[in-house]
Amino acid sequence: MSSIRLACWNVNGLRAISRKGFFDWLQAEKPDLVALQETKISGDQLTAALTAPPGYVSYWSHAERRGYSGVAIYTRHKPLTVTEGMGVARFDCEGRVLAADYGDFLLVTVYAPNGKSGEERLAYKLSFYDAFLRYAGKLERQGKKLIICGDFNTAHKPVDLARPKDNENVSGFLPVERAWMDRFVKAGYLDTFREFDCRPHNYTWWHMVTGARQRNVGWRIDYFFASLTLKDKLQDAGISAQVLGSDHCPVTLTLSL
């Protein structure tokens, strides 16, 4: 039985992280697929070194606003098709969703909006969530087996952040955001990391300014979700907290094929 290794990473600026060892990590780990969020790059800023590292081809969805948002997929295996966006202009203009169909599964990389800047942006985030759930449901009805990964910008449960009591009224852990995560899981998507590890103190994002990473005062907001139909294919899922270069760390998933 063969297996496929996937990684997902909010790089907080691809050009910045490329100067901090991203491509060294890529060549050392050699995952089959790497989904990125917050690339913060426009199409005219891409170079051959960024788009075609040895052994990989890449696909991109850019935000209209320069230096903002953006998602990408590096892959060692050319997909059957690649689709940008969800078909909703007010979200697609921010470069937040990219899907690659591999036949056995469809990989979706997603960068959910951050709702911390105010009520208007929180409302946008919640609307994005609802649109994304409809989008995923449509793909499921087409018979697709989904692997959905990315920065959801919400810690689902108290175990998923270091200080849940202190953050009950902070976007990223609001009851309304967590309720949507409940709906998402109930719709048939497995939190793959929790299929293998239910322990606390496993985080994927740390506030940079306060030195939170050194103290492991973090949040788990980056996920690999999988359709229930892929449950028997899951081999392993992990968090690579030791990998530096961004305020997020990579998360990983291994599947049998």
Cα torsion for 165, 169, 172, 175, to the nearest 10°? 90
The one-letter amino acid code at 136 reads A
The CB density around residue 135, as the number of other CB atoms within 10 Å, is 19
| Rounded distance between C-alpha atoms, residue 36 and residue 44, angstroms | 18
Catalytic residue (choose from 151, 160, 222, 247): 151
Q: Are 115 and 177 in contact (CB under 8 A)?
A: yes
Residues 18 and 67: their CA atoms lie apart, in Å, by: 15
Residue 130 bears catalytic tag: no
d(CA 62, CA 43): 7
Active site residue ranges: 151
